[in-house]
Structure 1
Amino acid sequence: MNPQNYLRCNFLKLAGCIITIVVVASTVGFAQDPANKTNGRTDITLRIPGVVKPFTFAHLSDLHICYVDSRNSELLDFVSRRENVFSRHGFGSPNQTTPKLFKRINETNPDLVIITGDYIDIPTEASLEVGAKLLDSYDAGIIFAIGNHEWIGSMLKVYADRDYWIQRYEKLVGHPIEFYVRPMQGVNLVCVNHSAVTNRITEQQLQQTKNILEKGWPCIFFMHVPIPLELRPDREITETTAEFYELLKTHPQVKAIFAGHTHIENRVEYRSGHFQYIVQAGFRNHYNYITVLPVD
């Protein structure tokens, strides 16, 4: 298959994501989120034992900004059509929605902003440069969990090595991508690279998860793809991935999980009184605002 046809073929696969990805949610038992909602924002309050001082963070995902220039000229037509997919479904251009959403979030003055992947739709140098400028517009600190679209260039054969892009994102956000911990007022905020189609967790990621949970601090986990409540018999996963899922669902120090990927807002109870929150897509002009409080 010649490169042009290859791009067209994968464009059709990608374009279908906006429609078909919603179906994924029903396979893992998500329930509609009854949290307090306002226009374009959902407010969530977490009360966690061990919190030293109240803090807030904004959670957003799936912004899908998409820029290209002469450095990736072979993608000019592809990216134009890709951006039109969002407009055709009534969401407007992510390139126009994202700066406005960032401005709204900045005005709420969160202590931290957390993006759980698919910030960039197609990895290009132009997208990275614009993405960096947009992140600089935040007054708060940024932490980031990578999504599948951040390195989908491998599938498009734009770049052969996804590790190239992971290194670029590490430089962009200033922290490791595979596994990263940010202590915050007595809570560990943990970002994990759970973004691949096969959702494979490595042995190193699993061990890092065990180590951080053994420290005794309460933990909030962030990742792109939500963890499933039950393993599907038709889906092959590694032993380390299955163990990671079970650990997050059962360990008492896992206080909440935040994810994206499905483009729809949901929450699921993975353990009694503890929830996985899936934020609605940022390209739909939505984010979650979380307040973390100590237990009285």
Structure 2
Amino acid sequence: MLQRTLAKPISVTGVGLHSGERVALTLHPAAENSGISFRRTDLSGEQGEIIKLNPYLINDTRLSSTIVTENGVRVGTIEHIMSALSAYGVDNALIELNAPEIPIMDGSSLPFIYLLQDAGIVDQGAQKRFLRILKEVEIKEAGKWVKFTPYEGFKVTLTIEFDHPVFNSSAPTFEIDFAGQSYVDEIARARTFGFMQEVEMMRAHNLGLGGNLNNAIVIDDTDVLNPEGLRYPDEFVRHKILDAIGDLYIVGHPIIGAFEGYKSGHAINNALLRAVLADETAYEWVEFPNDDDLPNAFHELPSAA
């Protein structure tokens, strides 16, 4: 299977969920083997240089996955766009933005899916590299856990737990196996969510400044405040899967394995990636020159243009 990039650049504007700043974002095609990179066009000198993404750059996980470089350059809330890039199997792209945070759009990854569809996806000359999980790797902390196990495909299972009436009427667990299930149909529309009582705390820490009912599900003491309600009956856990897929794709390659989590979040997802990479017996890099040898999960990737 060959690497993929965008057929052409494409741009969009929006607002940062936490910063509240207006953001102009452009996705560019990139050369094979260059990976996913970011560049802050509002900065100059060393701070304005291209940042090639890797799990060790995620140094702020308060409510999102945020790149913080040694030079102090921040690129926040990357998980939704990374989730969309994973769904389309994009290996190489340059993402430029003129603010410290990716725009939140409608709180899901669907607007980024539309961007990728508009840009088109093309195959490149080099073989796609996959990270195959060879043994169980687990991280446990403070009542949460996440783990990888070997699996000839890509499957994600998550369970959430909140002591709130809205969550009591919603299924707490969701599983998606990409051999036969569609990211666009099952996951992409699920929006981020938050509680009214958290808003003041978040804003005191300069977080959530751009959040509103158009880009997040907002929950009060008893109910969902969004007039249109939920997009899926279990939208909350599906959004956590959307986040996890984006967090895992920060490794820069599709993963052959099963991911499972209980009350997972950005910090523990990133810790799991780092734990895998730190153990050379836990993974291997593989390529599939013959597409017939691909695990079925990756036959379902949306077609390249």
* Normalised TM-score (structure 2): 0.27
Higher strand share: 2
Higher helix share: 1
